[in-house]
Amino acid sequence: MNVATAHELAWNALELREPETLSARLKQRGVSLDAEEVVLLSQLLGRAPRWAEAVLFGILWSEHCSYKSTRHLLKRLPTAAPQVVIGPGEDAGVVSLPEPCADWVLVLGHESHNHPSQVLPVEGAATGIGGIVRDIVCMGAEVVGVLDSLRFGDPHGHVQTRDVMRGVVEGIASYGNALGVPNLGGDTRFDAGFDQNCLVNAMAVGLAPADGVIRSRVPEGPGPWHFVLVGKPTDESGFGGAAFASGELGQADQRGAVQLPDPFLKRVLNVATHEVFKRVREQRIPCGFKDLGAGGIACVTSELAAAGGRGARIRLEDAHRVSRPLPPEVFLCAETQERYCWVVPESFVAELCAIYESEFALGRVHAGAGARDIGMATDDKRYVVTWDGEILVDCEVDAITTGRRIMRPAALRARPRPARSRRRAADVHKVLLDLLKGEHLGSREYLYRHYDSEVQGRTWLRPGEGDACVIRVVPDRPTGIAFAVGGNPFWCAADPSLGAAHAVAKAARGVAAVGARPWALTDCLNFGHPEDPFVMGDLEAAVDGLSRAALALGELASPGHPLPFVSGNVSLYNQVGEHAIPPSPIVMCSGVIRDVGTTLGQAVHAPGHVLVLVGEPREGLDGSTYQREILRERGFPPPPLDLVREAMLQRFAVEVSEQRWALAAHQVSDGGLALTLVEMLLATPAESTVGLEVNIDAFEVDAAVALFCERPALVYEVGFDRLPRFSQAARDFGLTTWPIGTVTQHPGLRVLMPVGLAVQWTRESLAVAADSALRRRWNEEGV
Amino acid sequence: MSARVAVVQFPGVNCEAESVRALMRAGLSAEVFRWTRPAAELLAYDAYLLPGGWSYQDRVRAGALAAKDPLVDVLADVAAAGRPIIGICNGAQVLVEAGLVPGDGRVSLALARNRMPQRNGYYARWVYCRIEASNSVFTRHLEPGMVLPLPIAHGEGRFTSAKRGHVASLVRSGQVPLRYCTALGEDAIEFPSNPNGAEAGVAAVCNAAGNVLAIMPHPERVLDLGAIGRSVGGPWGRLRSQAMAQNPTEVFSDAPGLQIFEGLKRHLEVAV
Amino acid sequence: MNAQKQVAQAFIEMRASDPEASSALSVAQANMEAGRGLVGMRRVRVFELAGPLPPHAELIELLHRSNQFYNPSKERCVVRAETSDASPCVAGEQWVLVFERGGERRAGAERWWRHETGSRIEVREGVAWALRFAPGVDASASAEDITVTRDRRHGLLCNPNFQEWRPAPETGTVPMPWIATKPISRGPRARKGKAAP
CB contact under 8 A, A159 and C68: no
pLDDT over threshold 80, residue C186: no
Residues of C in contact with A122 (CB under 8 A): 67
pLDDT at res. A615: 87
Shortest Cα distance from B231 to chain A (angstroms)?
4
Average pLDDT, chain B: 95
pLDDT at res. C196: 36
**Over residues A297-308, mean pLDDT:** 92
Confidence of residue B89 (pLDDT cuts 50, 70, 90): very high
CB contact under 8 A, A452 and B153: yes
Shortest Cα distance from C32 to chain B (angstroms)?
8
CB contact under 8 A, B54 and A267: yes
pLDDT at res. C106: 92
Report the residue of B231, B251, B254 to disrupt the A interface, i.e. the one with the largest count of A CBs within 10 Å: B231
**Over residues A86-110, mean pLDDT:** 95
Q: Among partner residues B57, B125, B183, which is closest to A264 by beta-carbon distance?
A: B57
Shortest Cα distance from B253 to chain A (angstroms)?
11
pLDDT over threshold 60, residue C189: no
CB contact under 8 A, C161 and B112: yes
Average pLDDT, chain A: 92
Chains that touch A (3 or more CB pairs under 8 A): B, C
Burial label, A732 (beta-carbon count in 10 A; 0-12, 13-18, 19+) = exposed
CB of B182 within 8 Å of any CB in chain A?
Answer: yes
Which of C:36-75 have CB within 8 Å of A? 67-68, 71-74
Give strand pairing partners of B49.
Answer: B7, B86
Residues of C in contact with B68 (CB under 8 A): 27-28, 31-32, 152, 156
pLDDT over threshold 70, residue C1: no
Residue A635 CB contacts under 8 Å (≥ 6 apart), including other chains: A415, A416, A418, A493, A494
Element (H, E) at A778: helix A763-778
Say if CB A773 and CB A670 are below 8 A apart.
no
Residues of A in contact with B223 (CB under 8 A): 457, 475
Among residues A64, A320, A440, A529, the one annotated as catalytic is: A64
CB contact under 8 A, B221 and A475: no
Residues of C in contact with B108 (CB under 8 A): 161
pLDDT at res. C4: 59
Q: Among partner residues A163, A255, A322, which is closest to C71 by beta-carbon distance?
A: A255
Confidence of residue A248 (pLDDT cuts 50, 70, 90): low
pLDDT over threshold 80, residue A217: yes
Which of B:188-227 have CB within 8 Å of A? 218, 220-223, 226-227
- DSSP classification of residue A605: -
Q: Count CB neighbours of B42 within 10 A.
A: 21
pLDDT at res. A426: 72
CA A238 to CA A235: how far, in whole Å? 9
CB of B116 within 8 Å of any CB in chain A?
Answer: no
Residue B220 falls in the annotated catalytic set: yes
Q: Measured between alpha carbons, how far is residue A465 from residues A189, A470, A686, B247 in Å? A: 19, 10, 13, 21
Residues of C in contact with B61 (CB under 8 A): 159, 163
Q: Sign of dihedral through CA atoms B158, B164, B166, B169? A: positive
Report the residue of C63, C73, C74 to disrupt the A interface, i.e. the one with the largest count of A CBs within 10 Å: C73
* Per-residue pLDDT reduced to its tens digit, A12-58: 888 889 999 999 988 888 888 999 999 999 998 999 999 989 988 98
Shortest Cα distance from C171 to chain A (angstroms)?
29
CB contact under 8 A, A159 and C72: no
pLDDT at res. A145: 97
Among residues B97, B156, B199, B220, the one annotated as catalytic is: B220
Residue B15 falls in the annotated catalytic set: no
pLDDT over threshold 80, residue C108: yes
**Over residues B99-108, mean pLDDT:** 94
Give strand pairing partners of B187.
Answer: B181
Beta strand B202-206 with B212-215 is antiparallel
* Per-residue pLDDT reduced to its tens digit, B173-199: 999 999 999 999 999 989 999 999 999
CB of B104 within 8 Å of any CB in chain C?
Answer: yes
* Per-residue pLDDT reduced to its tens digit, A595-637: 999 999 999 999 999 999 998 777 789 999 999 999 999 999 9
Report the residue of A119, A158, A159 to disrupt the C interface, i.e. the one with the largest count of C CBs within 10 Å: A159
The string of DSSP letters for C103-145 reads --B-HHHHHHHHHHHS---EEEEEEEEEEEE-TTS-HHHHHHH
Residue A490 CB contacts under 8 Å (≥ 6 apart), including other chains: A191, A582, A623, A628, A634
pLDDT at res. C18: 87
Say if CB A738 and CB A613 are below 8 A apart.
yes
* Cα A769 to the center of its chain, rounded Å: 30
pLDDT at res. A257: 63
Q: Write the single-letter amino acid at A601.
A: G
Shortest Cα distance from C57 to chain B (angstroms)?
32
The string of DSSP letters for A194-238 reads GSS--EEEEEEEEEEETT----SSPPSSS--EEEEEEESPB-STT
Residues of A in contact with B251 (CB under 8 A): 596-597
Q: Among partner residues A365, A684, A687, which is closest to B11 by beta-carbon distance?
A: A365
For B245, the 3-state DSSP assignment is helix
Cis preceding linkage at A328, omega within 30: no
Strand ranges, E, within B77-235: 85-88, 110-112, 123-131, 147-154, 158-160, 178-181, 202-206, 212-215
Chains that touch C (3 or more CB pairs under 8 A): A, B
CB contact under 8 A, A457 and B245: no
Among residues A7, A72, A110, A113, the one annotated as catalytic is: A113
Residues of A in contact with B218 (CB under 8 A): 454
CA C97 to CA C131: how far, in whole Å? 11
CB contact under 8 A, C20 and B70: no
Dihedral class, residue A560 (left if φ above 0, else alpha if ψ from -120 to 50, else beta): left
CB contact under 8 A, C19 and A366: yes
* Per-residue pLDDT reduced to its tens digit, B201-237: 999 999 999 999 999 999 999 999 999 999 999 999 9
Q: Among partner residues B12, B18, B124, which is closest to A451 by beta-carbon distance?
A: B124
CB contact under 8 A, A163 and C112: yes
Shortest Cα distance from A215 to chain C (angstroms)?
34
ipTM of the complex: 0.96
Element (H, E) at A187: strand A183-190
* Per-residue pLDDT reduced to its tens digit, A603-612: 999 999 999 9
CB contact under 8 A, B162 and C103: no
CB of A359 within 8 Å of any CB in chain C?
Answer: no
- Of A31-40, B30-39, B91-100, the one with minimum mean pLDDT is A31-40
Q: Sign of dihedral through CA atoms A506, A511, A516, A521? A: negative
